[in-house]
A and B are shown apart, each in its own frame.
Chain A
Amino acid sequence: MADFTRAQVQHLARLAKLDLTAEEIELYQKELAVILEFIDQLQAVEVGDLPPTEQVTDLRNVSRPDQSRDGLVLNREQLEANELEFADRQIKIPKVNL
Protein backbone atom coordinates (compact mmCIF):
# COMPACT_ATOMS: atom_id res chain seq x y z
CA MET A 1 0.00 0.00 0.00
CA ALA A 2 2.87 2.37 0.69
CA ASP A 3 4.19 2.07 -2.81
CA PHE A 4 2.84 4.57 -5.23
CA THR A 5 3.45 4.05 -8.91
CA ARG A 6 3.87 6.61 -11.63
CA ALA A 7 0.80 5.16 -13.32
CA GLN A 8 -1.24 5.67 -10.15
CA VAL A 9 -0.27 9.32 -9.94
CA GLN A 10 -1.07 9.81 -13.61
CA HIS A 11 -4.44 8.16 -13.13
CA LEU A 12 -5.27 10.45 -10.21
CA ALA A 13 -4.05 13.48 -12.13
CA ARG A 14 -6.38 12.56 -14.97
CA LEU A 15 -9.33 12.13 -12.60
CA ALA A 16 -8.56 15.46 -10.95
CA LYS A 17 -7.88 17.24 -14.26
CA LEU A 18 -4.42 18.23 -13.16
CA ASP A 19 -1.82 18.56 -15.85
CA LEU A 20 1.41 17.51 -14.12
CA THR A 21 4.95 17.75 -15.38
CA ALA A 22 7.24 14.72 -15.28
CA GLU A 23 9.09 16.22 -12.32
CA GLU A 24 5.84 16.79 -10.44
CA ILE A 25 4.73 13.21 -11.04
CA GLU A 26 8.00 11.93 -9.61
CA LEU A 27 7.86 14.29 -6.64
CA TYR A 28 4.27 13.53 -5.72
CA GLN A 29 4.88 9.84 -6.18
CA LYS A 30 7.49 9.98 -3.41
CA GLU A 31 5.62 12.35 -1.15
CA LEU A 32 2.27 10.62 -1.42
CA ALA A 33 3.90 7.27 -0.65
CA VAL A 34 5.14 8.69 2.66
CA ILE A 35 1.79 10.27 3.45
CA LEU A 36 -0.11 7.11 2.57
CA GLU A 37 2.10 5.03 4.79
CA PHE A 38 1.13 7.33 7.65
CA ILE A 39 -2.55 7.20 6.75
CA ASP A 40 -2.49 3.43 6.51
CA GLN A 41 -2.55 3.30 10.32
CA LEU A 42 -6.30 3.56 9.82
CA GLN A 43 -6.38 0.01 8.51
CA ALA A 44 -5.69 -1.35 11.98
CA VAL A 45 -8.41 0.68 13.70
CA GLU A 46 -11.53 -1.24 14.72
CA VAL A 47 -14.68 0.66 13.81
CA GLY A 48 -17.08 -2.26 13.59
CA ASP A 49 -20.59 -1.26 12.60
CA LEU A 50 -20.34 2.39 13.51
CA PRO A 51 -22.33 4.71 11.24
CA PRO A 52 -20.22 7.12 9.18
CA THR A 53 -20.30 10.80 10.21
CA GLU A 54 -20.93 13.20 7.36
CA GLN A 55 -21.29 16.33 9.40
CA VAL A 56 -21.36 17.21 13.05
CA THR A 57 -24.39 19.45 13.35
CA ASP A 58 -27.78 17.82 13.82
CA LEU A 59 -29.28 19.89 11.05
CA ARG A 60 -31.31 18.13 8.40
CA ASN A 61 -33.02 19.36 5.25
CA VAL A 62 -32.50 23.05 5.84
CA SER A 63 -34.41 24.97 3.21
CA ARG A 64 -35.50 28.47 2.34
CA PRO A 65 -38.27 29.85 0.13
CA ASP A 66 -37.54 29.45 -3.57
CA GLN A 67 -37.28 33.16 -4.20
CA SER A 68 -34.62 35.18 -5.88
CA ARG A 69 -33.08 37.90 -3.73
CA ASP A 70 -31.29 41.14 -4.52
CA GLY A 71 -27.55 40.92 -4.45
CA LEU A 72 -27.49 37.15 -4.71
CA VAL A 73 -27.55 36.92 -8.46
CA LEU A 74 -24.52 38.16 -10.34
CA ASN A 75 -25.17 40.71 -13.02
CA ARG A 76 -23.56 40.78 -16.43
CA GLU A 77 -20.92 43.31 -15.36
CA GLN A 78 -19.76 41.18 -12.50
CA LEU A 79 -19.50 38.17 -14.77
CA GLU A 80 -17.61 40.15 -17.35
CA ALA A 81 -15.19 41.24 -14.64
CA ASN A 82 -14.19 37.59 -14.54
CA GLU A 83 -13.20 37.80 -18.20
CA LEU A 84 -15.99 35.60 -19.43
CA GLU A 85 -16.93 35.65 -23.10
CA PHE A 86 -20.57 36.00 -23.95
CA ALA A 87 -22.69 35.08 -26.93
CA ASP A 88 -26.01 36.77 -26.23
CA ARG A 89 -27.02 35.44 -22.78
CA GLN A 90 -24.78 32.41 -22.91
CA ILE A 91 -21.23 32.06 -21.69
CA LYS A 92 -18.76 30.67 -24.20
CA ILE A 93 -16.23 28.07 -23.11
CA PRO A 94 -13.60 26.12 -25.04
CA LYS A 95 -14.86 23.24 -27.12
CA VAL A 96 -15.51 19.97 -25.31
CA ASN A 97 -13.91 17.11 -27.18
CA LEU A 98 -15.16 13.80 -25.93
Chain B
Amino acid sequence: MPLSLQEIVSQVKSGQTDPRESVETALRKARDSADLNIFTEIFEEPARKQAALLADKVKSKQPTGRLAGAVFAAKDNFLYAGTKTTAAAPFLEDFIAPYSATCLQKLLDEDAILLGKTNLDAFAHGTSTENSCFGPTLNPHDPSLTPGGSSGGSAAAVAAGICPFALGTDTGGSVRLPASFCGLVGFKPTYGLLSRYGIVAMASSTDCVAPLTRSPQDASFLLELLKGRDDLDSTTLDGKEEEGPRKGTAALKVGVIKELTAELDAEVSKSFDGFLDGLSRSGHQVETISLPNIRHALACYYVLVSAEISSNLSRYDGLRYGRKEVGGDWQEVVSRSRRTGFMAENKRRILLGTYVLSQGYYEAYYQKAQKLRTLLCREFARAFEQADFLVSPTSPTTAFALGEKVGDPLQMYLADLMTVAASLAGLPATNLPLKTESLPVGVQIMTPQRTDGWNLKIAEEIFKEL
Protein backbone atom coordinates (compact mmCIF):
# COMPACT_ATOMS: atom_id res chain seq x y z
CA MET B 1 0.00 0.00 0.00
CA PRO B 2 1.61 3.29 -1.00
CA LEU B 3 1.60 6.06 1.59
CA SER B 4 -1.24 8.55 1.49
CA LEU B 5 -0.39 12.21 0.89
CA GLN B 6 -1.20 12.96 4.49
CA GLU B 7 1.18 10.20 5.65
CA ILE B 8 3.93 11.46 3.34
CA VAL B 9 3.55 14.98 4.68
CA SER B 10 3.38 13.89 8.29
CA GLN B 11 6.64 11.93 7.86
CA VAL B 12 8.33 15.01 6.43
CA LYS B 13 7.03 17.23 9.22
CA SER B 14 8.20 14.81 11.89
CA GLY B 15 11.66 14.58 10.38
CA GLN B 16 11.22 10.88 9.58
CA THR B 17 11.52 11.63 5.86
CA ASP B 18 14.08 14.09 4.52
CA PRO B 19 12.50 15.96 1.59
CA ARG B 20 15.90 16.05 -0.13
CA GLU B 21 15.79 12.26 -0.34
CA SER B 22 12.23 12.37 -1.68
CA VAL B 23 13.40 14.65 -4.45
CA GLU B 24 16.46 12.50 -5.27
CA THR B 25 14.29 9.40 -5.42
CA ALA B 26 11.80 11.13 -7.69
CA LEU B 27 14.57 12.43 -9.95
CA ARG B 28 16.10 8.97 -10.17
CA LYS B 29 12.75 7.41 -11.06
CA ALA B 30 12.16 10.13 -13.62
CA ARG B 31 15.54 9.36 -15.21
CA ASP B 32 14.79 5.63 -15.20
CA SER B 33 11.50 6.33 -16.98
CA ALA B 34 13.00 8.67 -19.58
CA ASP B 35 11.85 6.33 -22.37
CA LEU B 36 8.25 7.00 -21.47
CA ASN B 37 8.65 10.67 -22.49
CA ILE B 38 6.67 11.90 -19.51
CA PHE B 39 8.22 15.31 -18.87
CA THR B 40 8.60 18.39 -21.02
CA GLU B 41 10.89 19.80 -18.37
CA ILE B 42 12.32 18.60 -15.07
CA PHE B 43 13.24 21.25 -12.49
CA GLU B 44 16.19 19.34 -11.07
CA GLU B 45 18.06 22.14 -9.30
CA PRO B 46 15.03 24.17 -8.22
CA ALA B 47 13.43 21.04 -6.73
CA ARG B 48 16.63 20.26 -4.83
CA LYS B 49 16.76 23.84 -3.61
CA GLN B 50 13.12 23.72 -2.46
CA ALA B 51 13.80 20.48 -0.64
CA ALA B 52 16.88 21.92 1.09
CA LEU B 53 14.95 25.00 2.24
CA LEU B 54 12.15 22.80 3.52
CA ALA B 55 14.57 20.48 5.32
CA ASP B 56 15.99 23.55 7.10
CA LYS B 57 12.53 24.73 8.09
CA VAL B 58 11.70 21.31 9.54
CA LYS B 59 15.02 21.14 11.38
CA SER B 60 14.60 24.58 12.90
CA LYS B 61 11.03 23.69 13.86
CA GLN B 62 9.46 26.42 11.73
CA PRO B 63 5.88 25.92 10.54
CA THR B 64 5.52 24.13 7.22
CA GLY B 65 2.67 23.84 4.76
CA ARG B 66 0.01 21.14 4.54
CA LEU B 67 1.77 19.52 1.58
CA ALA B 68 5.27 19.79 3.03
CA GLY B 69 7.67 17.67 1.01
CA ALA B 70 5.07 16.17 -1.32
CA VAL B 71 6.69 15.94 -4.75
CA PHE B 72 4.37 16.51 -7.68
CA ALA B 73 4.23 17.24 -11.41
CA ALA B 74 2.02 19.60 -13.37
CA LYS B 75 0.72 19.37 -16.92
CA ASP B 76 2.58 21.78 -19.17
CA ASN B 77 -0.46 23.98 -19.65
CA PHE B 78 -0.14 25.36 -16.14
CA LEU B 79 1.78 28.63 -16.18
CA TYR B 80 4.67 28.71 -13.71
CA ALA B 81 6.34 32.13 -13.48
CA GLY B 82 9.79 32.36 -14.95
CA THR B 83 9.70 28.97 -16.64
CA LYS B 84 8.57 27.60 -19.98
CA THR B 85 4.94 26.72 -20.46
CA THR B 86 4.77 25.08 -23.84
CA ALA B 87 1.30 23.50 -24.02
CA ALA B 88 3.26 20.97 -26.13
CA ALA B 89 2.75 23.15 -29.20
CA PRO B 90 5.31 24.92 -31.42
CA PHE B 91 3.61 28.23 -30.72
CA LEU B 92 4.67 28.23 -27.09
CA GLU B 93 7.81 26.09 -27.27
CA ASP B 94 9.95 28.92 -25.92
CA PHE B 95 7.32 30.88 -24.06
CA ILE B 96 8.30 31.94 -20.56
CA ALA B 97 5.33 32.36 -18.24
CA PRO B 98 5.13 35.80 -16.64
CA TYR B 99 2.91 34.59 -13.79
CA SER B 100 1.82 31.39 -12.09
CA ALA B 101 -1.47 29.53 -12.18
CA THR B 102 -3.46 29.99 -8.99
CA CYS B 103 -3.86 26.24 -8.38
CA LEU B 104 -0.15 25.64 -8.89
CA GLN B 105 0.75 28.49 -6.56
CA LYS B 106 -1.61 27.21 -3.86
CA LEU B 107 0.25 23.90 -3.78
CA LEU B 108 3.66 25.58 -3.76
CA ASP B 109 2.48 27.82 -0.93
CA GLU B 110 1.79 24.64 1.04
CA ASP B 111 5.41 23.54 0.51
CA ALA B 112 4.71 20.92 -2.14
CA ILE B 113 7.75 20.46 -4.41
CA LEU B 114 7.25 20.78 -8.17
CA LEU B 115 9.39 18.18 -9.92
CA GLY B 116 8.57 19.18 -13.48
CA LYS B 117 6.03 19.80 -16.22
CA THR B 118 4.43 16.94 -18.03
CA ASN B 119 3.66 16.17 -21.64
CA LEU B 120 0.18 16.63 -23.10
CA ASP B 121 -1.64 16.75 -26.41
CA ALA B 122 -0.86 20.17 -27.90
CA PHE B 123 -3.13 22.77 -26.33
CA ALA B 124 -4.82 19.84 -24.56
CA HIS B 125 -6.55 18.80 -27.79
CA GLY B 126 -6.53 15.04 -27.81
CA THR B 127 -7.27 11.78 -26.06
CA SER B 128 -3.90 10.04 -26.33
CA THR B 129 -1.03 12.56 -25.85
CA GLU B 130 -0.02 11.72 -29.43
CA ASN B 131 -0.70 15.28 -30.60
CA SER B 132 2.21 16.66 -28.61
CA CYS B 133 4.96 18.44 -30.55
CA PHE B 134 7.39 16.52 -28.29
CA GLY B 135 6.15 13.10 -29.34
CA PRO B 136 3.79 10.82 -27.42
CA THR B 137 4.07 9.73 -23.81
CA LEU B 138 4.02 5.95 -23.35
CA ASN B 139 1.81 4.05 -20.93
CA PRO B 140 3.86 2.75 -17.95
CA HIS B 141 1.73 -0.43 -17.88
CA ASP B 142 2.61 -1.24 -21.48
CA PRO B 143 4.83 1.11 -23.51
CA SER B 144 3.24 0.07 -26.81
CA LEU B 145 0.04 1.71 -25.60
CA THR B 146 -1.00 5.32 -25.09
CA PRO B 147 -1.54 6.59 -21.56
CA GLY B 148 -4.67 8.38 -22.78
CA GLY B 149 -4.90 12.14 -23.07
CA SER B 150 -4.66 14.93 -22.99
CA SER B 151 -3.09 14.73 -19.49
CA GLY B 152 -1.09 11.62 -20.45
CA GLY B 153 2.20 12.87 -19.03
CA SER B 154 0.71 13.63 -15.62
CA ALA B 155 -1.01 10.24 -15.50
CA ALA B 156 2.20 8.45 -16.50
CA ALA B 157 4.21 10.34 -13.86
CA VAL B 158 1.98 8.98 -11.10
CA ALA B 159 1.49 5.52 -12.64
CA ALA B 160 5.26 5.13 -13.03
CA GLY B 161 5.66 5.85 -9.33
CA ILE B 162 7.65 9.04 -9.87
CA CYS B 163 5.42 11.21 -7.70
CA PRO B 164 2.30 10.60 -5.59
CA PHE B 165 0.11 13.04 -7.49
CA ALA B 166 0.04 15.30 -10.51
CA LEU B 167 -2.09 18.16 -11.76
CA GLY B 168 -3.92 17.89 -15.04
CA THR B 169 -6.84 19.57 -16.73
CA ASP B 170 -10.08 17.92 -17.77
CA THR B 171 -12.23 19.59 -20.42
CA GLY B 172 -14.06 16.57 -21.80
CA GLY B 173 -12.26 13.70 -20.09
CA SER B 174 -8.61 14.70 -20.25
CA VAL B 175 -7.85 13.54 -16.71
CA ARG B 176 -10.48 10.83 -16.31
CA LEU B 177 -9.49 9.01 -19.48
CA PRO B 178 -5.73 8.84 -18.77
CA ALA B 179 -6.62 7.90 -15.19
CA SER B 180 -8.62 4.95 -16.49
CA PHE B 181 -5.88 3.91 -18.94
CA CYS B 182 -3.19 4.16 -16.27
CA GLY B 183 -5.02 2.77 -13.24
CA LEU B 184 -5.33 5.96 -11.19
CA VAL B 185 -7.94 8.09 -9.50
CA GLY B 186 -8.74 11.04 -11.76
CA PHE B 187 -11.03 13.61 -10.24
CA LYS B 188 -12.80 16.29 -12.27
CA PRO B 189 -14.39 18.76 -9.86
CA THR B 190 -17.60 20.73 -10.25
CA TYR B 191 -16.93 23.31 -12.95
CA GLY B 192 -15.90 26.55 -11.29
CA LEU B 193 -14.67 25.02 -8.03
CA LEU B 194 -10.99 25.28 -8.89
CA SER B 195 -9.53 28.42 -10.43
CA ARG B 196 -8.55 28.35 -14.09
CA TYR B 197 -6.32 31.41 -13.74
CA GLY B 198 -2.98 30.68 -15.32
CA ILE B 199 -4.15 27.63 -17.29
CA VAL B 200 -3.70 27.77 -21.07
CA ALA B 201 -7.36 28.04 -22.04
CA MET B 202 -9.04 25.43 -24.19
CA ALA B 203 -12.83 25.59 -23.72
CA SER B 204 -13.74 28.15 -21.12
CA SER B 205 -17.11 26.69 -20.19
CA THR B 206 -15.83 23.18 -19.45
CA ASP B 207 -12.08 23.46 -18.59
CA CYS B 208 -11.38 22.16 -15.08
CA VAL B 209 -8.18 21.77 -13.09
CA ALA B 210 -8.20 18.12 -12.08
CA PRO B 211 -5.75 16.07 -10.01
CA LEU B 212 -4.49 12.55 -10.67
CA THR B 213 -3.86 10.60 -7.47
CA ARG B 214 -3.40 7.08 -6.15
CA SER B 215 -6.49 7.19 -3.95
CA PRO B 216 -9.75 9.12 -3.58
CA GLN B 217 -8.55 10.19 -0.14
CA ASP B 218 -5.58 11.99 -1.69
CA ALA B 219 -7.89 13.71 -4.17
CA SER B 220 -10.09 14.89 -1.26
CA PHE B 221 -7.06 16.25 0.51
CA LEU B 222 -5.99 18.21 -2.58
CA LEU B 223 -9.55 19.41 -3.19
CA GLU B 224 -9.59 21.15 0.19
CA LEU B 225 -6.34 22.95 -0.61
CA LEU B 226 -7.27 23.94 -4.16
CA LYS B 227 -10.90 24.97 -4.08
CA GLY B 228 -12.35 28.37 -3.52
CA ARG B 229 -13.17 31.73 -5.04
CA ASP B 230 -10.38 33.42 -6.94
CA ASP B 231 -10.68 37.10 -7.84
CA LEU B 232 -8.56 36.35 -10.86
CA ASP B 233 -11.12 33.90 -12.28
CA SER B 234 -14.62 35.29 -12.20
CA THR B 235 -16.14 31.87 -12.90
CA THR B 236 -15.04 30.44 -9.58
CA LEU B 237 -17.46 29.31 -6.90
CA ASP B 238 -16.97 29.51 -3.18
CA GLY B 239 -15.92 26.17 -1.77
CA LYS B 240 -19.14 25.43 0.08
CA GLU B 241 -20.42 21.93 -0.37
CA GLU B 242 -24.05 21.65 -1.35
CA GLU B 243 -26.30 20.75 1.53
CA GLY B 244 -29.20 18.51 0.77
CA PRO B 245 -30.33 14.95 1.14
CA ARG B 246 -26.79 13.63 1.39
CA LYS B 247 -27.21 10.41 3.27
CA GLY B 248 -23.62 9.41 3.92
CA THR B 249 -22.09 6.67 1.83
CA ALA B 250 -24.03 3.55 2.81
CA ALA B 251 -27.06 1.94 1.15
CA LEU B 252 -27.27 4.41 -1.71
CA LYS B 253 -29.20 4.23 -4.95
CA VAL B 254 -26.85 3.78 -7.87
CA GLY B 255 -27.96 4.69 -11.39
CA VAL B 256 -26.17 2.86 -14.20
CA ILE B 257 -26.45 5.05 -17.29
CA LYS B 258 -27.97 2.69 -19.83
CA GLU B 259 -26.79 4.54 -22.94
CA LEU B 260 -23.17 4.43 -21.77
CA THR B 261 -22.99 0.67 -21.34
CA ALA B 262 -23.40 -0.26 -24.98
CA GLU B 263 -20.51 -1.33 -27.18
CA LEU B 264 -17.97 -2.00 -24.49
CA ASP B 265 -14.82 -4.03 -24.98
CA ALA B 266 -15.02 -7.47 -23.40
CA GLU B 267 -12.50 -6.56 -20.68
CA VAL B 268 -14.30 -3.37 -19.77
CA SER B 269 -17.69 -5.09 -19.79
CA LYS B 270 -16.50 -7.88 -17.51
CA SER B 271 -14.83 -5.50 -15.06
CA PHE B 272 -17.82 -3.18 -15.04
CA ASP B 273 -20.25 -6.04 -14.32
CA GLY B 274 -17.98 -7.13 -11.49
CA PHE B 275 -18.02 -3.59 -10.15
CA LEU B 276 -21.82 -3.46 -10.18
CA ASP B 277 -22.00 -6.81 -8.37
CA GLY B 278 -19.62 -5.40 -5.78
CA LEU B 279 -21.86 -2.37 -5.28
CA SER B 280 -24.87 -4.64 -4.66
CA ARG B 281 -22.91 -6.75 -2.21
CA SER B 282 -21.93 -3.58 -0.34
CA GLY B 283 -25.59 -2.84 0.20
CA HIS B 284 -26.24 -0.30 -2.56
CA GLN B 285 -29.32 -0.53 -4.75
CA VAL B 286 -28.21 -0.75 -8.37
CA GLU B 287 -30.63 0.26 -11.12
CA THR B 288 -30.40 1.15 -14.77
CA ILE B 289 -31.35 4.71 -15.66
CA SER B 290 -31.86 6.10 -19.10
CA LEU B 291 -30.61 9.50 -20.18
CA PRO B 292 -31.89 9.36 -23.77
CA ASN B 293 -30.03 12.37 -25.09
CA ILE B 294 -26.69 11.44 -23.61
CA ARG B 295 -25.98 9.59 -26.85
CA HIS B 296 -25.73 13.02 -28.50
CA ALA B 297 -23.43 14.43 -25.84
CA LEU B 298 -20.28 13.83 -27.87
CA ALA B 299 -21.60 15.63 -30.94
CA CYS B 300 -22.85 18.44 -28.71
CA TYR B 301 -19.48 18.62 -26.99
CA TYR B 302 -17.47 18.86 -30.18
CA VAL B 303 -19.65 21.66 -31.53
CA LEU B 304 -19.47 23.77 -28.36
CA VAL B 305 -15.87 23.01 -27.45
CA SER B 306 -14.53 23.54 -30.98
CA ALA B 307 -16.36 26.86 -31.06
CA GLU B 308 -14.79 27.90 -27.76
CA ILE B 309 -11.39 26.64 -28.89
CA SER B 310 -11.57 28.68 -32.08
CA SER B 311 -12.22 31.72 -29.95
CA ASN B 312 -9.59 31.01 -27.29
CA LEU B 313 -6.90 30.20 -29.80
CA SER B 314 -7.39 33.43 -31.71
CA ARG B 315 -4.99 35.05 -29.25
CA TYR B 316 -2.13 33.07 -30.82
CA ASP B 317 -1.29 35.55 -33.52
CA GLY B 318 2.47 35.77 -33.42
CA LEU B 319 2.19 39.41 -32.34
CA ARG B 320 1.99 39.24 -28.55
CA TYR B 321 3.99 36.21 -27.49
CA GLY B 322 5.15 32.89 -28.74
CA ARG B 323 6.38 31.86 -32.15
CA LYS B 324 6.40 34.52 -34.80
CA GLU B 325 6.90 34.02 -38.52
CA VAL B 326 8.48 37.28 -39.61
CA GLY B 327 8.14 38.94 -42.96
CA GLY B 328 5.19 40.48 -44.71
CA ASP B 329 2.32 42.48 -43.39
CA TRP B 330 0.09 41.84 -40.41
CA GLN B 331 -2.15 39.28 -42.15
CA GLU B 332 0.82 37.30 -43.37
CA VAL B 333 2.59 37.29 -40.01
CA VAL B 334 -0.56 36.15 -38.25
CA SER B 335 -1.59 33.48 -40.75
CA ARG B 336 1.90 32.07 -41.12
CA SER B 337 2.58 32.01 -37.41
CA ARG B 338 -0.66 30.12 -36.97
CA ARG B 339 0.32 27.70 -39.72
CA THR B 340 3.58 26.68 -38.09
CA GLY B 341 2.61 27.27 -34.46
CA PHE B 342 -0.32 24.87 -34.34
CA MET B 343 -0.44 21.10 -34.68
CA ALA B 344 -2.90 19.48 -37.09
CA GLU B 345 -5.48 18.72 -34.41
CA ASN B 346 -5.46 22.34 -33.24
CA LYS B 347 -6.18 23.47 -36.79
CA ARG B 348 -8.88 20.88 -37.23
CA ARG B 349 -10.73 22.13 -34.16
CA ILE B 350 -10.25 25.78 -35.06
CA LEU B 351 -11.73 25.13 -38.51
CA LEU B 352 -14.61 23.13 -37.07
CA GLY B 353 -15.28 25.80 -34.45
CA THR B 354 -15.16 28.55 -37.04
CA TYR B 355 -17.63 26.61 -39.16
CA VAL B 356 -20.22 26.08 -36.43
CA LEU B 357 -20.06 29.75 -35.49
CA SER B 358 -20.15 31.09 -39.02
CA GLN B 359 -23.03 32.80 -40.72
CA GLY B 360 -25.60 30.36 -42.02
CA TYR B 361 -24.51 27.58 -39.68
CA TYR B 362 -24.63 29.20 -36.25
CA GLU B 363 -28.26 28.35 -35.49
CA ALA B 364 -28.13 24.82 -36.84
CA TYR B 365 -25.00 23.88 -34.96
CA TYR B 366 -23.88 26.15 -32.15
CA GLN B 367 -27.27 27.30 -30.88
CA LYS B 368 -28.70 23.83 -31.32
CA ALA B 369 -25.86 22.40 -29.26
CA GLN B 370 -26.38 25.02 -26.56
CA LYS B 371 -30.02 23.99 -26.28
CA LEU B 372 -29.08 20.33 -26.23
CA ARG B 373 -26.70 21.16 -23.38
CA THR B 374 -29.70 22.50 -21.44
CA LEU B 375 -31.56 19.29 -22.20
CA LEU B 376 -28.64 17.20 -20.94
CA CYS B 377 -28.43 19.20 -17.71
CA ARG B 378 -32.12 18.57 -17.14
CA GLU B 379 -31.78 14.87 -17.87
CA PHE B 380 -29.04 14.66 -15.27
CA ALA B 381 -31.19 16.59 -12.77
CA ARG B 382 -34.03 14.11 -13.33
CA ALA B 383 -31.64 11.20 -13.00
CA PHE B 384 -30.40 12.52 -9.67
CA GLU B 385 -33.98 12.46 -8.41
CA GLN B 386 -33.99 8.71 -8.98
CA ALA B 387 -30.43 7.87 -7.96
CA ASP B 388 -27.90 9.19 -5.48
CA PHE B 389 -24.98 8.75 -7.81
CA LEU B 390 -24.56 7.71 -11.43
CA VAL B 391 -21.98 5.34 -12.82
CA SER B 392 -20.62 4.28 -16.16
CA PRO B 393 -17.36 2.90 -17.45
CA THR B 394 -14.95 5.78 -18.06
CA SER B 395 -14.00 4.45 -21.46
CA PRO B 396 -15.45 1.81 -23.79
CA THR B 397 -11.95 0.34 -24.15
CA THR B 398 -8.75 -0.18 -22.24
CA ALA B 399 -5.68 1.78 -23.36
CA PHE B 400 -5.34 1.64 -27.12
CA ALA B 401 -2.13 1.21 -29.08
CA LEU B 402 0.11 4.05 -30.14
CA GLY B 403 -0.65 4.97 -33.70
CA GLU B 404 -3.95 3.11 -33.72
CA LYS B 405 -6.20 6.15 -33.97
CA VAL B 406 -3.94 8.96 -35.19
CA GLY B 407 -5.12 8.61 -38.77
CA ASP B 408 -8.78 8.85 -37.80
CA PRO B 409 -9.72 12.00 -35.86
CA LEU B 410 -13.30 10.90 -35.26
CA GLN B 411 -12.15 7.62 -33.69
CA MET B 412 -9.92 9.65 -31.42
CA TYR B 413 -12.87 11.84 -30.40
CA LEU B 414 -14.95 8.74 -29.61
CA ALA B 415 -12.55 7.88 -26.79
CA ASP B 416 -14.28 10.63 -24.80
CA LEU B 417 -17.73 9.13 -25.36
CA MET B 418 -18.36 8.42 -21.68
CA THR B 419 -16.77 11.48 -20.19
CA VAL B 420 -18.07 14.52 -22.09
CA ALA B 421 -21.57 14.61 -20.64
CA ALA B 422 -20.35 15.35 -17.10
CA SER B 423 -18.18 18.12 -18.56
CA LEU B 424 -21.13 19.72 -20.34
CA ALA B 425 -23.22 19.59 -17.17
CA GLY B 426 -20.37 20.78 -14.95
CA LEU B 427 -20.72 17.77 -12.64
CA PRO B 428 -18.04 16.35 -10.37
CA ALA B 429 -16.87 13.06 -11.85
CA THR B 430 -14.28 10.66 -10.51
CA ASN B 431 -12.49 7.88 -12.33
CA LEU B 432 -12.02 4.98 -9.97
CA PRO B 433 -9.53 2.29 -11.05
CA LEU B 434 -10.80 -1.27 -10.75
CA LYS B 435 -8.66 -4.28 -9.88
CA THR B 436 -7.98 -6.10 -13.13
CA GLU B 437 -5.72 -8.93 -14.23
CA SER B 438 -4.23 -7.12 -17.18
CA LEU B 439 -4.78 -3.57 -18.36
CA PRO B 440 -6.41 -0.96 -16.12
CA VAL B 441 -10.14 -0.36 -16.38
CA GLY B 442 -11.80 2.65 -14.79
CA VAL B 443 -15.34 3.47 -13.77
CA GLN B 444 -16.84 6.90 -13.48
CA ILE B 445 -18.82 8.17 -10.50
CA MET B 446 -20.94 11.26 -11.12
CA THR B 447 -22.84 13.29 -8.54
CA PRO B 448 -24.67 16.64 -8.64
CA GLN B 449 -22.77 19.92 -8.83
CA ARG B 450 -21.09 21.03 -5.62
CA THR B 451 -21.10 17.58 -3.99
CA ASP B 452 -17.43 17.01 -4.66
CA GLY B 453 -16.43 16.01 -1.13
CA TRP B 454 -19.30 13.55 -0.99
CA ASN B 455 -18.42 12.17 -4.44
CA LEU B 456 -14.91 11.42 -3.26
CA LYS B 457 -16.15 9.88 0.01
CA ILE B 458 -18.34 7.51 -1.97
CA ALA B 459 -15.34 6.74 -4.17
CA GLU B 460 -13.21 6.14 -1.08
CA GLU B 461 -15.66 3.65 0.43
CA ILE B 462 -15.90 1.73 -2.83
CA PHE B 463 -12.11 1.87 -3.29
CA LYS B 464 -11.62 0.19 0.08
CA GLU B 465 -13.84 -2.70 -0.96
CA LEU B 466 -12.14 -3.31 -4.30
Interface residues of A (CB under 8 A from B): 8-9, 12-13, 15-21, 24, 27-28, 31-32, 34-36, 38-39, 41-43, 45, 47, 50-57, 59, 62-64, 71-72, 74, 78, 81-84, 93-97
Contact = CB atoms under 8 A, between A and B. Distances in A.
Interface stretch (B35-43, B122-130, B161-169, B361-369): B361-369
Query: What is the predominant secondary structure among interface residues of chain A facing chain B?
Result: loop
Nearest to B99: A71
Contacts, number: 162
B330 A31 contact: no
- In order of increasing CB-CB distance, the 8 nearest A-B pairs are A52-B370, A56-B426, A19-B335, A47-B371, A62-B234, A82-B321, A19-B339, A53-B373
B319 A93 contact: yes
Given A28-B348, A50-B374, A81-B98, A57 B192 contact: yes
A56 B347 CA distance: 27
User: Which of A21, A39, A57 has the most CB atoms of chain B within a 10 A radius of its CB?
Assistant: A39
B331 interface: yes
Nearest to B206: A56
Given A50-B374, A50-B375, A35 B410 contact: yes
A38 B410 contact: yes
Nearest to B292: A45
Contact of B355 (A24, A27, A32): A32
27 contacts: A12-B351, A12-B354, A16-B314, A17-B314, A17-B317, A18-B335, A28-B348, A31-B348, A31-B409, A35-B409, A36-B355, A39-B299, A42-B300, A45-B372, A47-B374, A50-B374, A51-B374, A53-B374, A57-B192, A57-B237, A57-B426, A59-B235, A64-B231, A64-B234, A82-B321, A96-B330, A97-B330
A45 B347 contact: no
B302 interface: yes
Nearest to A74: B98
A50 B374 CA distance: 7
Contacts of B302: 35, 38-39
B26 interface: no
Interface residues of B, number: 67
Nearest to A59: B235
B205 A78 contact: no
Contacts of A31: 348, 409-410
Nearest to A31: B409
A84 B320 CA distance: 7
B48 interface: no
Contact of B351 (A21, A28, A42, A55): A28
Contacts of B330: 93-97
A63 B331 CA distance: 35
Interface of B: 95-96, 98-99, 191-192, 205, 231-232, 234-235, 237, 293, 296, 299-300, 302-303, 310, 314, 317, 319-322, 324, 328-336, 338-339, 342, 344, 347-348, 350-352, 354-356, 358, 364-365, 367-375, 377, 409-410, 413, 424-426, 449
A41 B235 contact: no
A78 B96 CA distance: 9
B352 A35 contact: yes
Contact of A42 (B296, B314, B331, B342): B296
Contact of A95 (B320, B329, B374, B375): B329
Given A42-B299, A43-B364, A81 B371 contact: no
Given A19-B338, A35-B352, A83 B324 contact: yes
A18 B351 contact: yes
Contacts of A96: 329-331
A47 to B, nearest CB: 4
Contact of A9 (B191, B351, B364, B424): B351
A59 B194 CA distance: 15
B303 A57 contact: no
Contacts of B310: 16
Contacts of A74: 98
B373 A16 contact: no
Given A17-B334, A57-B235, 12 more contacts: A17-B331, A17-B338, A39-B299, A41-B299, A42-B300, A43-B364, A52-B370, A53-B370, A55-B205, A56-B192, A59-B234, A64-B234
B299 A94 contact: no
B80 to A, nearest CB: 14
A62 B429 CA distance: 26
A45 to B, nearest CB: 6
